[in-house]
């Protein structure tokens, strides 16, 4: 029996007349019904819902302001609580995808519904419903859903000897979760969504491109940040740094303070390439950094210089990765991210996702050792491509018909090199035989300078990409609302305005703003004017 509730549907057609301008635009589907109607409709939803291959655990009303306890969320997800800022109906369920695989999912349905549906993604190799994005997007009026991508927790071990769990992780959970999320939305509100969106970063960015490549009919708009595309090659690359650095007792290892010296040297050589020395490389591809000058000479002080072996490590780290045949596996880590990378990729321990992906998905071999990672592994990972996770198809013809894609990548990303994103853009351009102007019609890519992996960094990194990276809901400064404005009003973004707050603290005020440019253009200082102001910069061709 499908849920059909005409009274509720009628209530939902009442428009919300007094939306405050600082909040996202509300459309005609909002309700000013009393909390109790919403509450009781929500409470009974679980018993009415019928989901194919699904078990509905519960549906519960969660009032705005609730610090929601998440006791079932695996401890490795490090998210035991979530602050809910809108009145929502929270639905929890399990979906079986095969006899021995399935996923948990939640749908959050706000009382202030705008008629928009949104799917959230995941991160790393997890296994964690992205509650932050559910909270963020439902507060903006979207009915939102998210899955645990087929397993619980951050480890890749559940993928071991189970190709079905791998398939859930690669594409099936996000696809199936979207179909079911839309069904729940319709059953609850008594009408279908008007527009459908996808919003994710990192592995979530890869899931966005998976959708764009294989099931774009599900989404009118896709926001894909720092995408983990060319996934097998990315994991090979992430694992390759341990070979370059060795452990922290190795003579090839470069310490955190030494990476700070390297970073200062990068800035010395490259900061002015964008016309202004502010510690931010607007466009790292321009920087052909050479660390040779840092090598210690007879008289120099070893705390301010590097040994010949360490200089070689720096060169290796900032160079593309090739296999033994000379094929490119993955582009270089872009210069500028040295300090952020020092504690993650360059910390002198194997990268855990590489170990897990190779062990449990590529080889089904729990004894495989990351210390011996080599060219054969790079080739095997790319060839076996478990679950079709590579996500590198260049033909987006279907997406061109169905969707708008907003692709962004932080240019200080220390986990997934931002150099891989323009490489994908060019791959699409060449595969489809389109010019950038033609791609602009449905696919736009922005390099967000001075921004780390999905957020943070030295630059104007606040673009509305997460609940703690929001200045306003103005589409010019908020990527979530920018995709809505493009899809629904045809206002395609030319720039994404980012904000840097003093000490990254909003209450301390704005330090500077920058209008991040649409690829292939990048920001260049005009040569005069306050560099903290957007208008002192211009988007120029590379």
Rounded CA gap, 498 and 505, in Å?
14
Neighbours of 397 (CB within 10 A): 11
Query: Could you tell me which stretch among 193-201, 207-215, 378-386, 451-459 binds ligand NAG (CB under 6 A)?
Result: 378-386
- Tell me, yes or no, if 202 is annotated catalytic: yes
Rounded CA gap, 294 and 364, in Å?
43
For ligand NAG, what does the binding mask look like between residues 461 and 500, x meaning CB under 6 A? ----------------------------------------
- What is the footprint of ligand NAG within residues 432-451 (CB under 6 A)? none
- Tell me, yes or no, if 69 is annotated catalytic: no
- Tell me, yes or no, if 375 is annotated catalytic: no
Q: Is residue 98 close enough to count as binding ligand NAG by CB under 6 A?
A: no
Query: Which among 221, 197, 184 has a CA at the least distance from the CA of 120?
Result: 197
Angle between the 231-245 and 375-384 helix axes, to the nearest 10 degrees? 170
Q: How many CA atoms lie within 13 A of 94 on its CB side?
A: 10
Q: Is residue 324 close enough to count as binding ligand NAG by CB under 6 A?
A: yes
- Cα-Cα-Cα-Cα dihedral of 457, 460, 464, 465, to 10°? -30
Rounded CA gap, 271 and 267, in Å?
5
- C-beta of 327: minimal distance to ligand NAG in Å? 4
Rounded CA gap, 287 and 291, in Å?
12
Q: Determine which one of 30, 111, 202, 403 is catalytic.
A: 202
Q: Determine which one of 453, 461, 516, 522 is catalytic.
A: 453
- C-beta of 494: minimal distance to ligand NAG in Å? 28
- Which long-range CB contacts under 8 A does 290-296 form with residues at least 24 apart? 291/262, 291/265, 291/315, 291/318, 293/265, 294/261, 294/262, 294/265
Kindly give, in sequence order, each residue whose CB lies less than 8 Å from that of residue 407, ignoring residues fewer than 6 positions away: 205, 209, 224, 225, 227, 421, 424, 425, 443, 444, 445, 446
- C-beta of 69: minimal distance to ligand NAG in Å? 7
Q: Determine which one of 133, 413, 458, 485 is catalytic.
A: 413
Sign of the CA dihedral running 503, 506, 511, 514: positive
Q: Is residue 345 close enough to count as binding ligand NAG by CB under 6 A?
A: no
Single out the residue of 53, 58, 65, 81 in contact with ligand NAG (rule: CB under 6 A): 81
Q: Is 248 helix (H, G, I), strand (E, B) or coil?
A: coil
Between residues 281 and 358, which has the closer beta carbon with respect to ligand NAG? Answer: 358
Q: Is residue 15 close enough to count as binding ligand NAG by CB under 6 A?
A: no
Single out the residue of 41, 59, 154, 313 in contact with ligand NAG (rule: CB under 6 A): 154
Query: Could you tell me which stretch among 15-23, 292-300, 310-318, 517-525 binds ligand NAG (CB under 6 A)?
Result: 15-23
Query: Which among 91, 89, 114 has a CA at the least distance from the CA of 31?
Result: 114
Q: Is residue 376 close enough to count as binding ligand NAG by CB under 6 A?
A: yes
Single out the residue of 295, 323, 472, 506 in contact with ligand NAG (rule: CB under 6 A): 323
- Provide the 8-state DSSP code for 321: E
Single out the residue of 372, 435, 528, 541 in contact with ligand NAG (rule: CB under 6 A): 372
Between residues 7 and 508, which has the closer beta carbon with respect to ligand NAG? Answer: 508
Rounded CA gap, 265 and 363, in Å?
41
Alpha-carbon distance values, 275 to 496, 528, 537 (Å): 20, 10, 9
Interface size with ligand NAG, residues (CB under 6 A): 56
Between residues 219 and 330, which has the closer beta carbon with respect to ligand NAG? Answer: 330
List contacts with ligand NAG (CB under 6 A). 19-20, 23, 35-36, 39, 43, 61, 63-64, 67, 72, 74, 76, 81, 83, 86-87, 94, 104, 111-112, 127, 151-155, 161, 163, 230, 233, 248, 301, 303-304, 323-324, 327, 329, 349, 362, 364, 372, 374-376, 378-379, 382, 384, 386, 392, 502-503, 508
Residues carrying an active site annotation: 202, 413, 453
């Amino acid at each position: 029996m499908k849920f059909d509730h005409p009274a509720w549907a009628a209530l939902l057609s009442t428009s919300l007349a007094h939306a405050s301008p600082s909040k996202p635009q509300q459309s005609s589907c909002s309700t000013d019904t009393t909390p109790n109607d919403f509450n009781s409709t929500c409470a009974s939803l679980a018993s009415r819902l019928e989901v194919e291959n699904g078990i509905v655990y519960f549906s519960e009303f969660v009032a705005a302001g609730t610090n929601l306890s998440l006791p079932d969320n695996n401890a490795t997800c490090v998210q035991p609580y979530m602050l809910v800022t809108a009145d929502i109906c929270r639905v929890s369920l399990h979906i079986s995808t095969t006899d021995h695989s399935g996923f948990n999912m939640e749908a959050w349905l706000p009382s202030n519904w705008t008629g928009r549906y949104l799917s959230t993604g995941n991160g790393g190799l997890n296994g964690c419903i992205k509650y932050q994005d559910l909270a963020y997007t439902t507060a903006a009026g979207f009915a939102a859903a998210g899955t645990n991508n087929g397993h619980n927790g951050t480890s890749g071990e559940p993928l071991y000897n189970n190709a079905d769990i791998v398939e859930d992780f690669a594409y099936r959970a996000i696809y199936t979760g979207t179909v079911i999320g839309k069904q729940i939305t319709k059953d609850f509100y008594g009408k279908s969504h008007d527009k459908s969106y996808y919003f994710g970063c990192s592995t979530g960015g890869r899931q966005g491109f998976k959708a764009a490549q294989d099931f774009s009919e599900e989404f009118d708009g896709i926001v894909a940040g720092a995408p983990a595309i060319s996934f097998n090659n990315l994991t090979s690359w992430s694992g390759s740094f341990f070979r370059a650095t060795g452990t922290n007792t190795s003579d090839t290892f470069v310490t955190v303070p030494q990476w700070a010296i390297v970073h200062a040297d990068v800035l010395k050589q490259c900061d002015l390439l964008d016309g202004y020395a502010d510690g931010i490389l607007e466009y790292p591809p321009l920087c052909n950094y050479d660390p040779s000058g840092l090598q210690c000479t007879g008289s120099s002080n070893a705390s301010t210089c590097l040994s010949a072996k360490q200089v070689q490590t720096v060169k290796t780290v900032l160079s593309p990765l090739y296999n033994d045949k000379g094929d490119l596996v993955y582009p270089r880590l872009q210069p500028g991210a040295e300090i952020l990378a020092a504690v993650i990729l360059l910390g002198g321990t194997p990268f855990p996702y590489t170990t897990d992906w190779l062990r449990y998905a590529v080889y089904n071999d729990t004894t495989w050792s990351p210390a011996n990672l080599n060219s054969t592994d790079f080739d095997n990972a790319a060839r076996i491509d478990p679950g079709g996770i590579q996500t590198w198809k260049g033909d987006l013809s279907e997406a061109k018909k169905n969707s708008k894609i907003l692709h962004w990548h932080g240019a200080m990303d220390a986990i997934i090199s931002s150099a891989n994103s323009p490489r994908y853009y060019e791959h699409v351009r060449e595969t489809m035989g389109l010019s950038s102007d033609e791609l602009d019609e449905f696919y736009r890519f922005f390099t967000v300078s001075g921004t780390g992996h999905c957020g943070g960094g030295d630059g104007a990194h606040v673009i509305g990409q997460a609940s703690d990276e929001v200045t306003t809901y103005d589409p010019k400064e908020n990527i979530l609302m920018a995709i809505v404005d493009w899809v629904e009003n045809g206002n395609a973004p030319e720039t994404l305005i980012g904000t840097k707050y003093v000490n990254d603290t909003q209450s301390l005020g704005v330090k500077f703003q920058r209008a991040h440019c649409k690829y292939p253009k990048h920001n260049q200082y005009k040569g005069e004017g306050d560099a903290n102001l957007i208008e002192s910069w211009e988007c120029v061709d590379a």
